[in-house]
Amino acid sequence: MRPIAWIAVVLTAACGESTGPLSDLSGLRSSLAVVNTVFASPLVQSLGVFRFGGPLAAPAAGAPLIPDSLLGKTLAFTCASQRYAESGDSGAPATGVRVVLYQRAPDGSIACPATAIGQLDLFDASAPGTTAVRGVATAPGGAAPLVDYTISHNVADAKGVASATGFVSDGQQRLDFQVTGEPGSGLHNPIATVQLDDATADLHAVLHHAAEMGVDTYYEDVDLSVHDAVLSAELKGSTGWFNTLRSWDEIVSVNDAPVAKVGGSLVPE
């Protein structure tokens, strides 16, 4: 997560240079490093291709979230077609559909030649008054789940309002998460709140995020707060891009005291 990465960099630079209440930042810095490690794991990165949803078409009104024709089937990606399609692979759950996860390239696309690094099993977890999908991601061989989550939408809520709960792990460290999302004032103006909890490290983070997307523009407001048993840190500000110009204007604070400004602009080569 980029905001957590910025805070971790600032805390690393500040360690050994601060005095008083900010003199020991190493504990919070180490906890944030664990968060970055989990989200940087290949399987979690691969799952980001789908934003937790999987490469499934939106169902027709009243139809099941996962068509009966896909139950027990495996969807695999081919570099030749650049898309997912049913494969002859066995092992998919009879009550769900399996999606093979692949190593990602630096730009976020699936790297070719495609290298499988895990699988995501999707299940229809809907109940009366609620539509929901559950996802369980495992490494090859189907060991203990590394990601387990449920996304749900109450039929009484407006279109686009949804929540997700679950956990994500790199096989050693586990982060529990809760996400709520809703549309903003426009079609391309999503608003989300993400809460992360690492019970082992007593680390808790809350991210409030609002974005506005155009044809060749992107703008986001970010407010991320993290705390452990001793310290708290916050990154607040905005970032965006217009055509090829990218810019940042964010402030990092520790225990409510500003300690760094993340700002500037660039045009990538």
The percent helix, strand, coil of the chain (3-state, each to 5) is 15, 45, 40
- Is the pLDDT at 136 greater than 90? The verdict is yes
What pLDDT band is residue 217 in, cutting at 50, 70 and 90? Answer: confident
What pLDDT band is residue 137 in, cutting at 50, 70 and 90? Answer: very high
Closest to 3 in 3D by CA, of 212, 181, 199, 253 = 253
Closest to 182 in 3D by CA, of 150, 145, 157 = 157
Q: Residue 16: left if φ>0, alpha if ψ -120 to 50, beta else—which one?
A: left
What pLDDT band is residue 231 in, cutting at 50, 70 and 90? Answer: confident
Give me the phi and psi of 50, to 5 degrees please. -100, -5
The CA distance from 122 to 137, in Å, is 9
**Are 47 and 54 within 8 A, CB to CB?**
no
- Percent pLDDT > 90 in the chain is 32
